[in-house]
Amino acid sequence: MKVIYVFAILGIIYSSTIAPTKVFDIYYNVEYSLSQDLQSQFTYYPFKLPVKPGDKMDIEIKIPNFANHDFYLEVYEYNFEPTNDQVYKRINGVSKGKIAPTSYYYEGQSTVFYNTFKVSETALPGSYFLIYVTIPNYSYTYLYLRINLSKYKYSNIKDINFLTNYTIDTSIFGDRKIPYKYQIYLRLPFMSEDQMQIQLTTHEAYEKDSAFEVDVCQYDTRPVESQVYYIGRDINCKNNLKNTSPYATKYYYDFQTERNVQYLSIRIINYISDLNYLFIYIYTEKGMHGVILALLIIAPIIIVGAIIVFILRRLRTSGKKEFSQLDAPTSNIGL
């Protein structure tokens, strides 16, 4: 019986340290928790990431401040999507090395360790990075992985509303300029069968027809990150909208939403090499009509309320004066 217990314990230890039987598909600018999303049980994890030629990225590991960071990364580049067998055996790919991240920055109560990688310029469309994260032991459950391209080429997906102001934060870029060919991703709910307009504003005048590329996709439900970043052929998209603005520093892109569609994703590609300011505003005809109608309903209520408050204050003031006169002492002069 004791022998059976020993083998059982050894089996548990072995199953906790061997390679996982799953390859995790990931996307850039999304944070993955080994403890929650991936149900961490192993000492290393293979992640598969679709990449494009020349893409630059920071592979980041986030842990609580002052925690043990005895982990390392291995990166392989493939000119095709590798099979699980190729992933497990690490074959037919080009190794970009085994690295223990040393560069870091602080993010709230966590430390983010990172290394910067670049996809080969000669990589083929449909290329992949295989990223292996090796950790000291299987109980290392407070580790997070993120492939951060927000400083280089692809923004985080920004959830916004129409008829609201949004300015690109340029402080994340080294020279405070939005990089050439930088792609900005937006996601928002909208109304079907609506006339909409994407409005961009810059500080300086640029070429009106080639300064930006603007693409819009429509969805029945709220799209997840992979749908926004990797647009499929079955998605209803309008690509490379035309600028209709008559102004030098403003760019207007008009489009019509379709029936029974509830969400939009917008991609804005910058083709200006020295762009240091970009203001974004999403105009909607139905939304504006709703705002005007609300104002027409609310404004009279506000005006009437203000008049009532004014009258009550006047009555209260006059009442205080009358009360103070009644209580004033009488003079005894002449008695």
DSSP 74-123: EEEEESS---HHHHHHT-SSEEEEEE---EEEEETTEEEEEEEEE--TTP
With bands split at pLDDT 50, 70 and 90, how would you rate the model's confidence at 156? Answer: very high
302 inside domain: no
Note the pLDDT of residue 264: 93
Q: What is the CATH number of the domain that holds 35?
A: 2.60.120
For the chain, how many residues are written? 335
Instruction: For residue 282, give its domain range.
Output: 154-287
The burial class, CB within 10 Å (0-12 / 13-18 / 19+), for 220 is exposed
Q: For 58-72, 222-236, 239-253, 318-332, which range has the lowest pLDDT when averaged over its residues? A: 318-332
Retrieve residue 281's tokens. Answer: 């505003």
Lowest mean pLDDT among 121-125, 138-142, 151-155: 138-142
Burial (CB < 10 A; 0-12, 13-18, 19+), residue 1, is exposed
Does residue 168 sit in helix, strand or coil?
Answer: coil
Question: What's 223's DSSP letter?
Answer: P
DSSP 224: P
| CA distance to 98, 246, 324, per residue, from 39 (Å) | 24, 54, 76
Q: For 271-308, what is each residue's pLDDT tens digit?
A: 999 999 999 999 998 744 344 444 445 555 666 666 77
Q: Which of 124-133, 232-241, 323-332 has the lowest mean pLDDT?
A: 323-332
Picking from 65-69, 147-151, 246-250, 311-315, which range would have the lowest pLDDT averaged per residue? 311-315
pLDDT tens string 184-235: 999 999 888 889 999 999 999 999 999 999 999 999 999 988 889 877 666 7
Please identify which residue in the block is written with the tokens 């991936």.
38
Beta-bridge partner residues of 159: 187
pTM: 0.73
| 106 DSSP β-pair partners | 111
For residue 133, pLDDT beyond 50: yes
CB atoms within 10 A of CB 77: 18
> Phi, psi (5° rounding) for residue 67?
-80, 160
Is the domain of 226 the same as that of 265?
yes
Residue 56 CB neighbour total at 10 angstroms: 13
- Please give the C-alpha separations between residue 66 and each of 61, 63, 108, 113, 327, in angstroms, as whole numbers: 13, 8, 13, 12, 73
Pick the last residue of a domain from 148, 169, 186: 148
Provide the pLDDT confidence category of residue 101 given band limits of 50, 70 and 90: confident
Dist. CA 288–CA 61, nearest whole Å: 44
Domain contains 320: no
* Domain presence at residue 4: no
Task: Report the distance separating Cα 309 and Cα 313, nearest Å.
Answer: 6
Those residues with Cβ within 8 angstroms of residue 20's Cβ, 6 or more apart along the chain or in another chain: 41, 42, 44, 45, 46
- pLDDT for res 252: 98
| 287: three-class secondary structure by DSSP | helix
Residue 206 lies in a domain: yes
Is residue 166 domain-shared with residue 133, that is, in the same domain? no
Q: How many domains does the chain have?
A: 2
Q: Are residues 136 and 223 in the same domain?
A: no
Tokens of 114: 């990172």
